[in-house]
Structure 1
Amino acid sequence: MNGTMPRSSLATTADVAVRRTVGSVTTPAPTTTPLRLPGVMDAEGRVDESRLRMHIFKNGGVSPTERGLVWRFLFGMYPCSSTALERPLLQEQLAVRYQVMKRKWQQMLPDSIRLRLNGTDAELVEAVRYFDQRQAHAQQQDQQEEVRDKLAFLELQAQVLFERVTFDLEELQEAIRIIDKDVPRTDRDLDYYLGEGSGNLLVLRNILITYAAFHPEVSYAQGMNDLCSRFLEVMDSEVDTFWSFSCYMEKFSKDFTADGLHRKIELEAALLKELDPQLYAHLVTDNMESFTFCHRWLLLGFQREFEHSDALRLFEILSCDHLELISQQVERARYQERLASKHSIVPEDNLLTEPQAINTDFTFELFICATILLENRESLLRCRNDVQLIQFTSSLQGTLDLNFTLKKAEEHFYNYCKRSAWDYMNGHCRTRKNKDEHFLYQLRSFFS
């Protein structure tokens, strides 16, 4: 692709708001029901982002009934600063833009509109039938003349926005070829893709191709289908899934590159070396392939290691950046301690060097991964080659307890912070009578 999608703010609103059908996607009027989360949304519908993220962390996720709306804020489709009146306008505009984008690649590659079917896959053949019926029903819905005029105006805006976008057709066709292999294998055991829901596989395909077409610097890589499927299942909307998935990929697309994966594996190795040097040394012996067996865990947020509903909870917990929030609190507390120490009398033998700063590159997913490794330490130490290692880690799929894993991961993070600063803080805080001034007590309050 020679041109890229114009980077306009998703917060831009259109001049109209209606309930409508655009192309094959029926988009209902978005809900304005307030989030049932205390202290998160104000009277006009604006969301306090930091409180939302902390609520997700402290409560171990949100309920399934709240998840769809929460994810629209958490992953950036809805700006947290938007009001309940503004969001229908925004959703209207995003729906039309998505349809224009999808239609553009379909016009350029008409032979790729339909999935290349494997005749032996009866379920997939039926999925195409359900999908075609859904499209025909959507196109038959009547629209009032006023609504058509408003939609025509929005569509004209979208066409102008994407007019100069061009595709590298050869690269896009290659991406579609891989997508057509991956989509039929995506979560076929979930209720969302069974029966008439099997047509959702074709919805997923459209989202992935549209994303690849308008994000050539990322295109498509294996694993994106599983990640995008998670958004589609929760939001049950082609349009909303595309924009939420796109926002997520703005931050994490590097994880699907060789350099990004290598960097994440390096960080996981460095963290385990801090937590358990012996296990680290065993996993980097000549007969092992270091930490590459953690690839799928880290890339897909442990999607298959936990029961499905727990995997969704973990994904939103990992995405709320609570570790980064805690790290910021820790650093602020340490800064306050350093300021206070300058004005206090400390015995010369208690003067200690500044501790090494907490490595904020150690994201919470790395602590989750390290926790799984540490909890299976003895089994890992018995592995003598990479084949045994991969066999063992594969056997963990669907067997892990999320609440236990979260608790242990938080403990490992707590201990990591304590080792990083304990001596320094102990030397400067041992004369303090108010324990609340000690950063360790502040940190512990986040885990209560």
Structure 2
Amino acid sequence: MWGWSGIQEQPPGSHPDGDSACTGGPESKLPATSSLQSLFDEAGRLDLAGLRKVVAERGTDASERRVTWKFLFGVYPAGSTAEERRRLDQQLATRYRSMRSAWRRQFPSAGRMKVQSDLELSLAIETYEAQQGAEADEGGGGVGPGRRLTQLPPRPQHSQWVQSLSQPQFLATLRDIDADVPRTDRHRSFFQRQGLVKLLYLREILITFVAFHQDIGYCQGMNDFASRFLQTLDSEFDAFWCFATCMRRWAPSLSAQGVARRIQTTEELLQRVDPELYHHIARTSEEKLLFCLGWLLLRFQRELGHEDAARVMELGALEGDPAELAPGILSPPGREGEEGLAPRLATVSFEVLLCVALLIQHRRELLQHQHVHDFFLFAHRLQGKLALDALQRADGPL
């Protein structure tokens, strides 16, 4: 991550995004009614181990996530005070606007999304651009998503970084983003209540990310994660920084090699806990559990409703650093060679466990399938229809 020296702060009391849903300044404190207040000391320092324990046992409330997620996904330092987080929010907002301005200056044609035969989204683009113009004319302290920034030029290293992008590479990535954004859960009330304008916020987040993370780039599915952050945090800049830190951690699992490892782990776990079901699937299809690819790749973001999907994201945030996890979340690693599968199962990811639990819950139906296409149709039919509480009742607490 970039250093924080020399960053111009915005006036206190103005929210970095200027979003009507996010007024009242940076959210560095929990709501007054939050049950997590006891995890903070007088200066606002968080007991991170305590938060992780709460997340593992019951999850956090929707009203708490604008703060807790920035700890869980590594935006807020664990030992930060409330005042330090307030200043950091301001710094990150200014940094994001500078980064966003940099790629717009370098690739001005990318600033406007081009759509065909999509009247609803075309109207959203017009509304979005009208908002930009109004906010630019006001010249106030708050800066809304997509505002034309004339008073804050990009920092030199930002311009140099974006200039290192080849135009063909950038435009190819832009085409992928513009193909994915219009079909990113636009049916959700979060996107509908402003006439799809927030889909344009999502686009800004994704383009800014790929412009400054050329080593990671963009792949299909990132829009689903960014969308979840945007809806949960209801702030363009908060969503960007949580998404960016999350992708730096999860990028290896999104690679072809990473996905292959998770599928293999899922197959080995299913073979251990339900040999009959595993062998039936293996006999029916040479591809075995390839029909579970979307679940594992996107951590069930398309199958679950918003609250359940957010819960899975929270649990995913606990993975990757066992030293900081609450006791009992991950088993201690076994010795190489003991029980064959034990070392891998010791640190199996939550979406793998959820995948196996789901297969076992539907085992009777799956055992009736006699063609590979039946399994893929089964997976497709679950989109938007999966509920975690149903799995809880069938297989115990998640």
With the length of structure 2 as denominator, give the TM-score of the two structures: 0.84
Secondary structure at the counterpart of residue 331 of structure 1: coil
| Residue of structure 2 equivalent to 1:287 | 285
Task: Pick the aligned partner of 1:363 from 325, 329, 349.
Answer: 349
Mapped pair 1:33 → 2:33: no
Looking at structure 2, the residues matched to 288 and 138 of structure 1 have their Cα atoms a distance apart, in angstroms, of 57
Q: 1:16 to 1:223 in 2, by over 3 A?
A: closer
Distance in 1 between the 2:280 and 2:132 partners?
A: 55
What is the rounded CA distance, in whole Å, between the counterparts of 1:291 and 1:354 in structure 2? 25
Which of 126, 138, 141 is the matching residue for 1:141?
Answer: 138
Q: Which residue of 2 aligns with 1:85?
A: 83
* Residue of structure 1 equivalent to 2:145: none
Q: Separation in 2 of the partners of 1:135 and 1:319?
A: 34
- 2:39 partner SS: coil
Correspondence for 1:391 among 347, 356, 377: 377
State the shift of 1:111 in Å: 1.2
User: One-letter code of the match for 1:190?
Assistant: R
Q: What stretches of structure 1 move > 6 A for 4+ residues in a row?
A: 21-27, 353-356
Partners of 2:101 and 2:128 lie apart in 1 by: 17
Over alpha carbons, which structure has the higher Rg?
Answer: 1
Which one of 105, 108, 123 corresponds to residue 107 of structure 1?
105
Report what 1:426 is aligned to. Answer: none
Quote how far apart the aligned CAs of 1:81 are: 1.5
* Alpha-carbon spacing, 1:402–1:99, altered in 2? closer, same or farther (3 Å): same
Q: 1:293 to 1:42 in 2, by over 3 A?
A: same
Let me know the Cα RMSD of the aligned residues: 3.1
For residues 369 and 111 of structure 1, the distance between their equivalents in structure 2, rounded to whole angstroms, comes to 42
User: Which residue, 211, 215, 218 being the options, matches 1:217?
Assistant: 215
**1:190–1:131 Cα change, 3 Å:** same
- How do residues 219-368 of structure 1 correspond to structure 2 at under 5 angstroms? 219-285=217-283, 287-321=285-319, 325=325, 326=327, 330-331=331-332, 357-359=342-344, 360-368=346-354
Which residue does 2:11 correspond to in 1? 18
Q: Which runs of 5+ in 1 are unaligned?
A: 1-6, 145-151, 336-352, 412-446
How many angstroms apart in 2 are the aligned matches of 1:229 and 1:329? 28
Q: Secondary structure at the match of 1:394?
A: helix
The 5-angstrom pairing of residues 200-215 of structure 1 reads 200-215=198-213
CA drift at 1:32:
4.1
Q: Which amino acid aligns with 2:39?
A: V
- Cα distance, 1:115 vs. partner? 0.4
Mean CA deviation greater in 388-397 or 185-194: 388-397
The answer (yes or no) to whether the contact 1:256–1:299 under 8 Å persists in 2 is yes
After TM superposition, give the deviation of residue 15 of structure 1 in Å.
Answer: 7.5
What is the TM-score normalised by the length of structure 1? 0.75
Query: Is the CA contact 1:368–1:406 (under 8 Å) kept in the aligned structure 2?
Result: no
- Secondary structure (helix, strand or coil) at the match of 1:51 reads helix
The 3 A distance-change label for structure 1 pair 9 and 276 is: farther
Cα pair 1:305 1:400 within 8 Å, conserved: yes
Contact 2:8 2:94 in 1 (8 A): no
Deviation, 1:385, is 2.1
Question: What residue number does 2:179 align with?
Answer: 181
Asked if the contact 2:29/2:67 (under 8 Å) is kept, the reply is no
Equivalenced residues, count:
376
Q: Name the CA distance, whole Å, in 2 between partners of 1:328 and 1:215.
A: 31
Please list the CA deviations of residues 42-85 of structure 1 after superposition, one character each: whole Å capped at 9, or x if unmatched.
211111222111101211x2222112222122112222221110
